[in-house]
Chain A
């Protein structure tokens, strides 16, 4: 009984936050994996997975079991320590940003004052994981993929930060909850340029088509995860899907008003429905553009960033600052 009494509400909150995080990471990977394949099918006018369960709804579970049952092959010439470290280094940090995302008024584990900086700092570890994985594989395709990923992520973090900074100047806070509360009008209306820039950067940051150069199938077989099999590969995939979720959550918090929507009973909890709906709408958009645009060339990718996104985000920031000061 004494141990039970010593469990404080705070501890329960932490446990619930961790469990919630795990549920989101794995549930999102399952749902997105299914949706992506199903939507990919319908964009190409074919039905997608159809065999396992009703309209293939259990396909991803079966795939998960298959991946778990597979042997983890380490190439003979690979740097074994780095090779094994990379998937974990990619997967572990994706839990942390989930802790500061305000899913609804009360469903937020920690309301950090520097929530945005925390998310961006933790998300940057993923780049390191890709570099470690690509280097450790001792494979030319992996190495090229890793190099491309680093160059791309470093370049696109700049306009992403500057476009988000415009919002921070308007709200005077880095706290995600504060930003949600500051939105009487959704910031997508007040800051359409910042929203567009953020969307482009989001696609590039999550290494998705048309900016999927780090894992370009037709050029680099699979890029940085060429040599990974079984769970090593699936950890990378889950990290990628969770990063998509996090990036879409940031977009929702900054531009789409977070939880705001038609009021429901117990809105401090049920607001999460609107939040998740907005996130998945953005995810749908990501899938949509993946099956619309061909992959960019590397110089086009860099030109887009340095010649268009960064100047426009800087001008947008300047105008925002002047308007806020007035």
Chain B
């Protein structure tokens, strides 16, 4: 009989404690972000698809067209090409494309690059209507970027 009433009162008290918890939550500020309207800062460690970095000194990329990223890529999604030009030492990069539909974001290309010309981007809004939306021309992307 004693257990019956003890259970009743402890149970009832726990219900009131629960109500207090949710009432406090009701009057607390909201913690979610209204995504398309407001965006939160993304961590610099985020590993999106690769991008050519712009060297602030020369105003262009540091790629020497060695082709190690293309060879290293396990998914064969990078294609680069270069040409010899008059008066320029080494090769000049003419094509750097990434087929992001096949990329597995392993990062081997970034690891292997001898000059540190490529790095992960912070791009995360990656919706497209066609497969061709994910064939990135990284030289063009770099030139368009500020």
Residues of A within 8 A of B (CB): 39, 41-47, 50, 288-289, 291-293, 307-308
Interface size on B, residues (CB 8 A): 16
Residues of B at the A interface (CB closer than 8 Å) are 4, 8, 15, 18-19, 21-23, 25-26, 28-32, 34
A292 & B18 in contact (Cβ 8 Å cutoff):
yes
CB-CB < 8 A to A293: which residues of B? 15, 18
Cβ distance B36 to chain A, nearest Cβ, rounded Å = 10
Q: How far is the CA of A43 from the CA of B20 in the complex (A)?
A: 11
**Are A43 and B31 CB-contacts (below 8 A) given A288-B19, A293-B15?**
no
Kindly provide the distance from the CB of A311 to the nearest chain B CB, expressed in whole angstroms.
10
Q: What 5 A-B pairs are tightest by C-beta distance, nearest first?
A: A46-B32, A292-B22, A45-B31, A292-B18, A45-B30
Residue of A43, A46, A308 touching B22 (CB-CB under 8 A) = A43
What is the CA–CA distance of A101 and B23 in the complex, to the nearest angstrom? 31
Contact A45 B19, beta carbon cutoff 8 Å: no
A114 vs B18: C-alpha distance when bound (angstroms)? 39
User: Chain A contacts of B26 at CB under 8 A?
Assistant: 39, 42-43, 288
How long is the Cα–Cα vector from A293 to B11 in the complex, in angstroms?
A: 12
- Give chain B residues whose Cβ lies under 8 Å from the Cβ of A41: 30
In contact, B28 and A45 (Cβ under 8 angstroms): yes
- Cross-chain pairs A/B with CB under 8 angstroms, 27 sampled: A41-B30, A42-B25, A42-B26, A42-B30, A43-B22, A43-B25, A43-B26, A44-B25, A45-B25, A45-B28, A45-B29, A45-B30, A45-B31, A46-B30, A47-B30, A47-B32, A50-B34, A288-B19, A288-B23, A289-B19, A291-B22, A292-B18, A292-B19, A292-B22, A293-B18, A307-B4, A308-B8
Determine which residue in B18, B25, B26 has the highest number of CB atoms from chain A within 10 A of its CB, and name it: B26
Chain A residues within an 8 Å CB radius of B30: 41-42, 45-47
Q: How far is the CA of A47 from the CA of B30 in the complex (A)?
A: 6
Alpha-carbon distance A45/B33, docked complex (angstroms)? 11
Nearest neighbor of B12 in chain A, beta-carbon distance: A196
In the bound complex, CA of A81 to CA of B22 (Å): 44
Cβ contact within 8 Å between B31 and A46 = yes
* A47 in contact with B34 given A289-B19, A292-B19, A293-B18 (CB within 8 Å): yes
| B40 smallest CB distance to A (angstroms) | 15
Beyond the given pairs A42-B25, A46-B30, 7 more chain A to chain B contacts, judged by CB atoms under 8 angstroms and listed by A's residue number, are A43-B26, A44-B25, A46-B32, A47-B30, A47-B32, A288-B26, A308-B8
Provide the residues of chain B in CB contact with A44, threshold 8 Å.
25
**Residues of the B chain whose Cβ atoms lie less than 8 Å from the Cβ of A291:** 22
Residues of A within 8 A of B22 (CB): 43, 288, 291-292
Residues of A within 8 A of B4 (CB): 307
**Bound Cα distance from A18 to B140, whole angstroms:** 70
Tell me how far the C-beta of B47 lies from the nearest C-beta in chain A, rounded to whole angstroms: 28
Q: In the docked arrangement, what's the CA distance between A316 and B8, Å?
A: 16
Whole-angstrom distance from the CB of A183 to the nearest CB of chain B?
A: 26
- Give the residues in chain A near B25, CB-CB below 8 Å: 42-45
Residues in A with CB closer than 8 Å to B19 are: 288-289, 292
- Cβ of B32: which chain A residues have Cβ within 8 Å of it? 45-47
- In angstroms, how far is the closest chain B Cβ from the Cβ of A180? 28
B12 to chain A, nearest CB (A): 9
Q: Which residues of A contact B23 (CB under 8 A)?
A: 288
Give Cα distance in the complex from A41 to B29, angstroms. Answer: 11
CA distance A47 to B35 in the complex (A): 12
Q: Which B residues lie within 8 Å of A292 (CB)? A: 18-19, 21-22
Closest CB-CB distance, A145 to chain B, in whole Å? 25
Q: A288 contacts which chain B residues (CB < 8 A)?
A: 19, 22-23, 26
Nearest CB of B to A192, in Å: 12
Please report the C-alpha to C-alpha distance between residue A288 and residue B25 in the assembled complex, in whole angstroms: 11
A164 to B119, CA, bound (A): 73
Q: How far is the CA of A307 from the CA of B15 in the complex (A)?
A: 18
Cα–Cα, bound, A323→B12 (Å): 27
Shortest Cβ distance from residue A205 to the other chain B in the assembled complex, whole angstroms: 19
CA distance A277 to B136 in the complex (A): 60
Nearest B-chain residue to A42, judged by Cβ: B26
Distance, CA A320 to CA B15, complexed state (A): 27
- Nearest-neighbour CB distance to chain B for A126, whole angstroms, equals 27
- Which of A47, A289, A292, A307 has its CB near the most chain B CB atoms (within 10 A)? A292
Separation of A41 and B31 alpha carbons in the complex (Å): 11
Distance to closest chain B CB from A230 (angstroms) = 30
